[in-house]
């Protein structure tokens, strides 16, 4: 019998297989802050702790930090710094894009168009609005998760206030044709609905040009690109009428009151600067790793089903597979035991696991939706880590084989 001292490592004790290496393959959930991000934040916390609204020297220094960060964010999406409003993260940006639009438009704009594979921060918001009397059109996706721009256009009506489409699907990595949707919407002329893009899973890494693409509002988050949690931003096109979500002291041009989260903003700025330097190069490397990972998974388990596009129009850091017959959560824990951290699209509640609604929206079976695993890489992922992941997956599935449901 073993006395257990303290709680130990998160995967220590029973779970430990004597492995020290940790392979973090859950970067679409959150990323590890980059050293330059940590340093930028430390400096603000320890030295430049002033309130940007203060008139003295400390305040001026802080307000300069916020302005520089705003520039760094803007430069990644082709916006002007005055069009960036910092928020508490992607969820707040998404909520605000929708509520702010509806509040600033008249009573006749009561229709919202979005897709069936949006993030819960969009889904839950439009569901709430639907219950409150708004009309919502959910445009379906094809088997790879793509929204058809023509279908989006056809859903638009006279009373459509907003079209909201995500840039990168967070579970399967599909890159939605936002540029094309923006172009089609622009062709509708001045009475066109607003176009919002939830870019949280693509921001910083993928090419985005809000001006050329005809985007009015775009949501961003820092912690998906090695920045800190609790900070994000909304791009609000200049000239767009937008009501605040949070009222108060008039910070952020009166659009988002509350003393600025300066350490977070500094961290987000540092992360953006980092990506601005080597974005294309990192993506190229990730595309190679993604291919290797997909090949490795297929070799480890030929029955595995890839969700999302194979290679074109897909975020090169997201790989999503189903392993029919297995339970996603068990694979996750079996990988965890071997030091590899991933996520499932489904959550096990009580005796019944809930299938991922995204996988179901692709027209896949419940069995596939229950056995899904998302591997998500970052700029720090190495080829060796991909190999370790594949090896761990092989061992995990072997371990779980007796538990496979098809044996029943």
In the bound state with another protein, the residue whose beta carbon lies nearer, of 165 and 397, is 397
Please list the residues that pair with 195 across neighbouring strands.
163
Which stretch in 5-13, 34-42, 84-92, 173-181 sits in contact with another protein by CB under 8 A? 5-13
Q: Catalytic annotation on 348?
A: yes
Task: Write down the least CB distance from residue 397 to another protein, Å.
Answer: 12
Chain positions 294 to 353 lying near another protein, rule: CB under 8 A, are 327, 329-330, 332-337, 347-353
In the bound state with another protein, the residue whose beta carbon lies nearer, of 132 and 350, is 350
Task: Write down the least CB distance from residue 25 to another protein, Å.
Answer: 16
Size of the chain in residues? 408
Task: Write down the least CB distance from residue 16 to another protein, Å.
Answer: 10
In the bound state with another protein, the residue whose beta carbon lies nearer, of 2 and 132, is 2
CA distance 337 to 274: 33
CB 164 within 8 A of CB 112: yes
In the bound state with another protein, the residue whose beta carbon lies nearer, of 30 and 75, is 30
In the bound state with another protein, the residue whose beta carbon lies nearer, of 25 and 222, is 25
Task: Write down the least CB distance from residue 396 to another protein, Å.
Answer: 8
**Contact residues for 75 (Cβ-Cβ < 8 A; gap 6+):** 272, 276
Chain positions 11 to 30 lying near another protein, rule: CB under 8 A, are 11, 13-15
In the bound state with another protein, the residue whose beta carbon lies nearer, of 61 and 400, is 400
CB 372 within 8 A of CB 343: no
Angstrom distances, CA of residue 395 to CA of 281, 388, 403: 33, 11, 14
In the bound state with another protein, the residue whose beta carbon lies nearer, of 292 and 333, is 333
Task: Write down the least CB distance from residue 6 to another protein, Å.
Answer: 6
| Pairing state between β 84-87 and 194-198 | unpaired
Chain positions 207 to 236 lying near another protein, rule: CB under 8 A, are none
**Contact residues for 261 (Cβ-Cβ < 8 A; gap 6+):** 86, 88, 230, 231
First-to-last alpha carbon distance for the chain, in angstroms, is 35
Q: Does 171 bind another protein (CB under 8 A)?
A: no
Residue of 3, 46, 107, 131 interacting with another protein (CB under 8 A): 3
Query: For residue 371, what are its two tokens?
Result: 């056995």
Chain positions 371 to 400 lying near another protein, rule: CB under 8 A, are 396, 399-400
Residues in the interface with another protein (CB under 8 A) total 36
CA distance 206 to 204: 6
CA distance 221 to 266: 13
Instruction: Give the active site residue among 156, 348, 387, 400.
Output: 348
Please list the residues that pair with 136 across neighbouring strands.
112
Q: Show the 3-state SS of 112-146.
A: EEEECCCCHHHHHHHHHHHHCCCEEEEECECCCCC
For Cα atoms 205, 210, 216, give the angle at the middle one, nearest 5 degrees.
125
Run of H or E residues at 185: helix 178-186
Which stretch in 6-14, 87-95, 144-152, 305-313 sits in contact with another protein by CB under 8 A? 6-14
Task: Write down the least CB distance from residue 328 to another protein, Å.
Answer: 11
Task: Write down the least CB distance from residue 331 to another protein, Å.
Answer: 8
- The residues annotated as belonging to the active site are 348
Residues within the interface to another protein (CB under 8 A): 1-7, 10-11, 13-15, 327, 329-330, 332-337, 347-353, 396, 399-400, 402-403, 405, 407-408
């Amino acid at each position: 019998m073993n006395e257990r001292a303290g709680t130990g490592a998160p995967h220590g004790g029973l779970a430990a297989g004597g492995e020290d290496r940790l392979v973090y393959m859950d970067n679409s959930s959150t990323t590890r802050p980059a050293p330059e991000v940590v340093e930028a934040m430390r400096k603000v916390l320890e030295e430049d702790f002033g309130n940007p609204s203060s008139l003295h020297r400390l305040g001026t220094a802080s307000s300069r930090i916020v302005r520089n960060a705003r520039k760094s964010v803007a430069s990644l999406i082709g916006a002007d710094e005055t069009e960036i409003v910092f928020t508490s993260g992607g969820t707040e940006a998404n909520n605000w894009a929708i509520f702010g639009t509806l509040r600033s438009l008249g009573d006749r704009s009561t229709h919202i168009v979005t897709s069936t594979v949006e993030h819960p921060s969009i889904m839950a918001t439009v569901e709430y609005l639907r219950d409150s009397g708004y009309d919502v059109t959910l445009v379906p996706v094809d088997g790879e998760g793509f929204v058809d721009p023509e279908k989006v256009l056809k859903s638009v009506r006279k009373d459509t206030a907003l079209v909201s489409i995500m840039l990168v699907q967070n579970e399967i990595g599909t890159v939605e044709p936002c540029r094309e949707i923006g172009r089609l919407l622009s062709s509708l002329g001045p009475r066109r609905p607003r176009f919002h893009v939830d870019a949280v899973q693509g921001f910083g890494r993928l090419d985005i040009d809000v001006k050329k693409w005809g985007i009015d509002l775009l949501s961003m988050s820092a912690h998906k690109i090695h920045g800190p949690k609790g900070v994000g931003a909304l791009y609000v096109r200049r000239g767009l009428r937008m009501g605040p979500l949070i009222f108060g002291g008039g910070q952020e041009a009166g659009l988002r009151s509350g003393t600025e989260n300066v350490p977070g903003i500094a961290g987000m700025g540092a992360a953006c600067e980092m990506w601005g330097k080597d974005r294309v190069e990192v993506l190229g490397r990730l595309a190679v790793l993604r291919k290797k990972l997909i090949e490795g998974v297929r070799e480890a388990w030929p029955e595995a089903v890839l969700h999302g596009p194979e290679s074109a129009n897909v975020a090169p850091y997201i790989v999503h597979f189903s392993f029919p017959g297995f339970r996603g959560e068990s694979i996750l824990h079996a990988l965890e035991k071997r030091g590899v951290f991933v996520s499932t699209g489904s959550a096990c509640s009580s005796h019944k696991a809930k299938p991922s609604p995204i996988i179901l929206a692709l027209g896949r079976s419940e069995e596939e939706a229950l056995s899904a695993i998302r591997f998500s890489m970052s700029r720090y992922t190495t080829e060796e880590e991909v190999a370790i992941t594949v090896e761990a997956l092989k061992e995990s599935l072997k371990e779980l084989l007796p538990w496979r449901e098809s044996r029943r």
